[in-house]
Amino acid sequence: MSSSLSDRSNASLISVASLAAQLGAPGIVVFDASWYLAQAGRDPRAEYRAGHIPGAVYFDLDALSDPSSLLPHMLLPPERFAAAIGNLGAGDDDRIVVYDGSGTNLSAARAWWMFRIYGHDNVAVLDGGLAAWRRAGLPLEPGDVTRPPARFTPRFRADLVRTLAEVRDAVGRGSAQVVDARSAGRFAGTEPEPRPGLRGGHMPDSRNLPYASFTGADGLLLDRAGLEAQFRAAGVDLDRPVVASCGSGVTACTILLALDLLGHRDHALYDGSWTEYGGRSDTPVDKTAI
């Protein structure tokens, strides 16, 4: 079993035992943020309706992304995100907990990061997600959950996100490390991209650290030593700034969560990620395996 950081004092992670003890208390709002690529053949909303943590509201990642962008999962304007979250029943004073059913925090970390970039730091990922909740023998609830509307005030933190121009500038000046959460095969260009029209490979000088690297076989986050070892093995210097990237800005957030748990503070997400970078003809691509 992996040793969990959620048993320590950390605002970004909560254990199943801690959530179970607080569930239903005023000021605790739980979101099921499950999302999967189409190739997985899973329907997250149907799975949610079949059984979710009691009281959990469905966090629809696609619906909470900018529909006007040609790129997937780009951030909504702050006021639109705030209105949507308020309508789902989460407010300024609430403690928010997010989880997913992947066993690797595939999308829960993205929901965690979204709350943080809109200024709500009182948010935690459920360590081990839905699988850990099931293993503990805790109850599930079917159907949809609605909550009374609440007031959610956005305080956008631009320091947590990077554009293509900013990533190019940082890489050119060597002021930040780009860490890519895609699989080793996609990073090296030996596996096809799941989205059509994208080149294979990676940004020159970037490092590869697949998103599943941060959890053990039980789905719990690795302990501090384990997380640090993953970054070291990937050639990432934890004393320097990091920009995380992936396919569409979802799984890269597992890198940001791990960095946050380690106390690293100078990190951001390249929101366009490989869908933007690999879909262009004017961006250099490297296919060297690391």
- How many helices (H) and strands (E) the chain has is answered by 10, 10
Instruction: Summarize pLDDT for 52-89 with one digit per residue, the tens.
Output: 999 999 999 999 999 999 999 999 999 999 999 999 99
pLDDT reported for residue 10? 67
Residues 235 and 187 in one domain: yes
pLDDT reported for residue 234? 98
pLDDT reported for residue 3? 44
Q: Alpha helix locations (H) across 23-161?
A: 44-50, 78-88, 108-117, 129-135
Residues 164 and 149 in one domain: no
Residues 73 and 147 in one domain: yes
Is residue 268, in this structure, part of any structural domain at all? yes
Please state, in angstroms and rounded to a whole number, the distance separating the CA atoms of residues 97 and 81: 17
**Region for 67 from its dihedrals, namely left if φ exceeds 0, alpha if ψ lies in -120 to 50, beta otherwise:** alpha
What tokens appear for 55 in the block? 């009281």
Pick from 64, 59, 10: nearest CA to 34: 59
Residues 82 and 46 in one domain: yes
Q: Of 157, 186, 207, which closes a domain?
A: 157
**CATH code assigned at 151:** 3.40.250.10
Burial 200-219 (b: 16+ CB within 10 A, else e): bbbbeebbbbbbbbbbbeeb
pLDDT of 8 over the 80 cut: no
| Residue at token pair 């639109």 | 80
pLDDT reported for residue 170? 87
pLDDT of 101 over the 80 cut: yes
Strand partners, 28: 95
Residues 28 and 152 in one domain: yes
Largest CA distance in the chain: 53
pLDDT reported for residue 152? 98
Instruction: Summarize pLDDT for 210-229 with one digit per residue, the tens.
Output: 999 999 999 999 999 999 99
Work out the pLDDT band at 154, boundaries 50, 70, 90.
very high
For residue 240, the one-letter residue type is R
Instruction: Summarize pLDDT for 115-145 with one digit per residue, the tens.
Output: 999 999 999 999 999 999 999 999 999 999 9
The pTM of the whole model exceeds 0.85: yes
Is residue 282, in this structure, part of any structural domain at all? no
Residues whose CB is less than 8 angstroms from the CB of residue 242 and which lie 6 or more positions away in sequence, other chains included = 176, 177, 178, 179, 236, 255, 259, 264, 266, 267, 268
Separation of first and last alpha carbons in the chain: 29
Residues 10 and 144 in one domain: yes
Query: Can 253 be counted among the known catalytic residues?
Result: no
Is residue 52, in this structure, part of any structural domain at all? yes
How many folded domains does the chain comprise?
2
Residues 25 and 135 in one domain: yes
For the chain, percent of residues with pLDDT exceeding 70:
96
Is residue 290, in this structure, part of any structural domain at all? no
Is residue 56, in this structure, part of any structural domain at all? yes
Residues 70 and 126 in one domain: yes
pLDDT reported for residue 9? 41
Helix (H) or strand (E) holding 258: helix 253-261
Please state, in angstroms and rounded to a whole number, the distance separating the CA atoms of residues 247 and 274: 5
Other residues' Cβ atoms within 10 Å of the Cβ of residue 130: 25
Question: Domain range for residue 123?
Answer: 5-157
Q: Of 157, 186, 206, which closes a domain?
A: 157
Which residue is catalytic, options 170, 176, 203, 246? Answer: 246
Work out the pLDDT band at 159, boundaries 50, 70, 90.
very high
Please state, in angstroms and rounded to a whole number, the distance separating the CA atoms of residues 152 and 158: 18
Is residue 285, in this structure, part of any structural domain at all? no
For the CA atoms of the chain, what is the radius of gyration?
18
pLDDT of 289 over the 90 cut: no
Which letter does DSSP use for residue 8 in this model? S
